Every structure is written in C-alpha cells, then in structure tokens.
C-alpha cells in the first residue's frame, strides 16, 4: 500500500532500475548510515587495495556477526533472535575475494593467535595426573572436518566463525549423498542458522551437547561453480535460502600509490575488540550475566512488524524459488537489525540504548540488498526456461491417458469448441513423446 510521495518515488525507482544497478544503489545507501570507522575501512581498501566495497562489507558483517555470538539478542514478534549469518562472495579469479576476507577478520585472527599462545603455554605446564587438560579458545575455523567443528564449538559454545577461502569444496561435500561428512555439514549449518542444538555421540570421542549453536559462515566461490550450489539437494534442503550472496558490483581500475592508513585499520579493529571484550567477559565462569537483551523502541518494533507483514504479502505472489528465500528473509531481518545496532554502538558499547527506527530501516535495506543479489545469482546462473505446453500437446497427452475433452478444457481454460477442433486433428505420437522430454508436461 502506497502511503506517501516517498513511497511512490521508491516504487517508481524500483520499476526503472534493476539487477546490479539496484544493488549498487542499495550498497551506497547502507554505507551512508554505518559508523564512520567501518565506511573508512571500506573506502580506503577500495582505493589502495582495490577490494570491491561490497566484498569488504560482507566480510565486515561476518566479523561482527561472529564477534557478537550468543552474548547479544533481540526479542521481537514473539521470537528470540541472534545475529549469526552466512555469507558467500561470488567472483572470478583475481577479484581480490580473499584480501577482503583477510582484512576484515584481522581482529578475530589476532585474538585466536593470542589464545593459541596461552593454550600452548597451559598445555606445556599442566600435569595430567592433577589438572584437567586445557581447552583451546578459538573463534575462526578453517579447513576442518565436521567432527572437529563440532568439538571446537562444544569447547567454544558462544560462537564459531567458519571461514573458507573457496567454499566450493564444502558445497561439493554437501552435494554428495554418500558422504557422511557432507550430510553432517549440511545438517549442522541448517540447524545452526536458527541456533538449534547439537548432540554428538561417537565411539571414538566423548559425548557432548551444545544447547544453542552459533555458527557463522564466510566463503568465496568462483562464478563457474555457482550452479553447483543449487544442485544435489542444497536447494531443496533450504541451504541456499540461508545464503547471503555477494556478486561483484564495484571495480577500481586505477592503481594508487601509497597504502591504507594505519589509523583507519586500528579504528576498525578497536570497534571489533570492543564487542569481543563483552563476549569474552560473558564466557567467564564467574560472570553472572551471560547474555544481554537489546530492546527495541516502539517505532522500531512497529517498523519491523510492518516490514515482516509486507514480506508475507509479497511471498504470496512470488515464484517458487523466490518464495522460499523470502521466508528466510523474515528471520534475517531480525539478525540484520541486531547486527546494525551493535555496529552503531560499538564505539561506547552502551547496550542499554534502545534500537531505533533508523536502525531497522538500514537493516531492511541490507535485507533487500542481499535479496536482490540472490535474484542476480538466479538470473545469471540458472538459465532454465519454462515453456508452457501447447493445446495440441495437452490434447495428445489426454488421448494417451484416456482423459476427456472436458478435462482438457478445465485444465487449459480453453472453451469446449476450441478443444473439440484440436481434438479432432491427428498428431504424431512420436512427436508428442519427443516434446514431452523437453517440456515435461507431466
């Protein structure tokens, strides 16, 4: 429903631009409202390292999502939601996909480096007959089996960030029905998206249970491998619907002498460390308060309610693959709202501040941004064209299956006279069978 001149302008604009231009416009809109420290990093990396802005934005969102963990949540519209999300960066070789991933995750890597040193020290000094074996604190996971991921997450239940330079190998595993590892990966990521529990019992390892999982995912994939994402059960299982795809939108063709400002990198790192500090504090056994609820203002909750209802209404008329994706958008809008809010308060970490309407607006833009990217991926990678069967083909099929003219009329919507004329025409059965192979009328 159109409520204002602004709504009319937006709808007209949506009709006149589409695809990559539309995503680029939404990208620029998001960058206008994010804190300066994040935007400066994105802009300088684009100038000096030629990292596409959208790639680095997705990598930053993954980093903040991982840093938040189960420590922060929102309750809205009857649901409790966290901020874990799955990102897939799509590009060609040489698109600097990896560089953006590395730059954004520097704070997580530095924390893991420090934790590993402490773990090695504790391991070298513990006495097995007196002490319990030290547990390694870890946030980022690379090149691990699903068994290792389960174990690491059980020892680090607040969050784990699964960081894969080339996600195709994981997709290939999940698409192999005979691979126990692949099936387990898919199940873990499907359940983990909504923070479901994991209960593991094996003969070779001790049993453990994670009451609430919190995996995040960031991976790159080459364009030619994207169709594989939609094959071998990944589409039907809902794994694709949970992905936030990021095709390339921006390109810097001009080399720039110099390097990124160390102050810009440090400012960004400090914001991430601020969030991580709260996460680490909540992980201490002595800490009473393990979680913090972010409360929404009335205006923010109303905005979230209205947008979710709009998604439900749009879903009713959407095509099949879009319909399923839009059902997950009703979850991701909560996750994006929390993510944007925490980015906005990451300077002073005033978690008592109410989430405002503007934050939900930015989250909506992000949600629609990744939805439009999904449609770009579909258009560019799924070249399946559906052809409606002709009346002649339906009639021949009806004759073959003993159906009546009346049934053909009801199915096709043609009147009885038109169906009757077509019915009396002779058709070659072999032509029908050949046609059916391609058009799959059944």
CA distances from 128 to 119, 205, 236, 284 (A): 15, 18, 48, 23
User: What's the pLDDT score for residue 179?
Assistant: 80
Q: Which helix (H) or strand (E) holds 43?
A: helix 36-44
User: What's the pLDDT score for residue 433?
Assistant: 44
DSSP class per residue in 308-361? HHHHHHHHHHS-HHHHHHHHHHHHHHHHHHHHHHHHHTTTT--TTSPB-HHHHH
User: What's the pLDDT score for residue 6?
Assistant: 56
Please tell me the distance from the alpha carbon of residue 361 to that of residue 344, in angstroms, as a whole number: 13
DSSP code at position 48: I
pLDDT in tens, 312-327: 999 999 888 899 999 9
What tens-digit pLDDT sequence spans the chain (442 residues)? 445 555 555 554 554 456 899 999 999 999 999 999 999 999 999 999 999 999 999 999 999 999 999 999 999 999 999 999 999 999 887 777 788 989 999 999 999 999 999 999 988 888 777 778 888 999 999 878 899 999 999 999 999 999 888 888 888 888 777 788 888 898 899 999 999 998 887 666 677 889 999 999 998 898 888 887 777 767 777 888 899 999 999 999 999 999 999 999 999 999 999 999 999 998 888 888 889 999 999 999 999 999 999 999 999 998 888 999 999 999 999 999 999 999 999 999 999 999 999 999 999 999 999 999 999 998 888 754 334 567 777 777 777 667 788 777 766 667 778 878 887 864 444 444 444 444 444 3
Beta bridge partners of 75: 80
pLDDT in tens, 116-163: 999 999 888 887 777 788 889 999 998 788 999 999 999 999 999 998
User: What's the pLDDT score for residue 16?
Assistant: 45
Please tell me the distance from the alpha carbon of residue 381 to that of residue 20, in angstroms, as a whole number: 14
User: What's the pLDDT score for residue 410?
Assistant: 65
User: What's the pLDDT score for residue 2?
Assistant: 47
DSSP class per residue in 269-309? HHHHHHHHHHHHHHHSTT-S---EEEPBPHHHHHHHHHHHH
Q: Enter the pTM of the model.
A: 0.82
Query: Any idea which residue has 């914001």 for tokens?
Result: 271
What number of other Cβ atoms are within 10 A of residue 429's Cβ?
A: 10
Burial 413-426 (b: 16+ CB within 10 A, else e): ebeeeebeebbeee
Long-range contacts of 400-406 (CB under 8 A, 24+ apart): 400/429, 400/432
């Amino acid at each position: 429903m159109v409520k204002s001149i602004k709504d009319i302008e937006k709808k007209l604009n949506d009709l006149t631009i589409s695809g990559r231009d539309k995503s680029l416009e939404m990208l620029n809109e998001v960058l206008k409202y994010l804190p300066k420290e994040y935007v400066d990093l994105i802009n300088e990396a684009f100038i000096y390292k030629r990292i596409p802005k959208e790639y680095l934005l997705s990598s930053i969102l993954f980093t903040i999502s991982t840093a938040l963990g189960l420590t922060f949540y929102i309750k809205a519209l009857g649901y409790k939601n966290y901020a874990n999300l799955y990102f897939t960066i799509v590009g060609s070789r040489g698109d600097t996909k990896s560089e953006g991933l590395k730059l954004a995750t520097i704070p997580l890597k530095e924390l893991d480096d420090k934790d590993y040193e402490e773990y090695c020290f504790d391991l070298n000094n513990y006495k097995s007959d007196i002490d319990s074996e030290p547990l390694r604190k870890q946030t980022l996971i690379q090149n691990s089996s699903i068994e290792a991921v389960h174990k690491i997450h059980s020892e680090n239940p607040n969050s784990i960030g699964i960081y894969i330079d080339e996600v195709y190998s994981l997709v290939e595993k999940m698409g192999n029905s005979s691979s126990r590892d692949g099936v387990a990966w898919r199940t873990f990521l499907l359940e983990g998206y909504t923070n479901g529990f994991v209960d593991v019992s094996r003969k070779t390892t001790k049993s453990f249970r994670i009451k609430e999982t919190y995996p995040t995912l960031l991976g790159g994939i080459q364009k030619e491998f994207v169709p594989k994402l939609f094959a071998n059960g990944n589409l039907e299982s809902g794994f694709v619907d949970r992905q936030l795809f990021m095709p390339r939108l921006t390109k810097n063709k001009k080399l720039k002498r110099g390097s990124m400002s160390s102050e810009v990198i440090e400012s960004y790192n400090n914001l991430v460390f601020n969030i991580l500090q709260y996460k680490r504090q909540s992980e201490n056994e002595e800490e009473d308060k393990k979680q913090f609820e972010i409360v929404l203002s009335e205006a923010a909750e109303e905005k979230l309610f209205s947008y979710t209802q709009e998604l439900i209404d749009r879903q009713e008329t959407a095509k099949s693959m879009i319909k399923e994706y839009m059902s997950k958008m009703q979850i991701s809008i909560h996750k994006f709202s929390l993510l944007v809010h925490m980015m906005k308060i990451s300077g002073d970490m005033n978690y008592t501040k109410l989430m405002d309407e503007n934050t939900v607006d930015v989250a909506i833009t992000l949600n629609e941004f990744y939805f439009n990217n999904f449609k770009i991926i579909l258009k560019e990678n799924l070249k399946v064209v559906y052809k409606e069967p002709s009346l002649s083909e339906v009639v021949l099929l009806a004759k073959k299956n003993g159906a009546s003219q009346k049934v053909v009329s009801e199915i096709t919507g043609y009147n009885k006279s038109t169906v009757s004329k077509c019915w009396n025409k002779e058709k070659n059965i072999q032509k029908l069978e050949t046609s059916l192979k391609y058009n799959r009328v059944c």
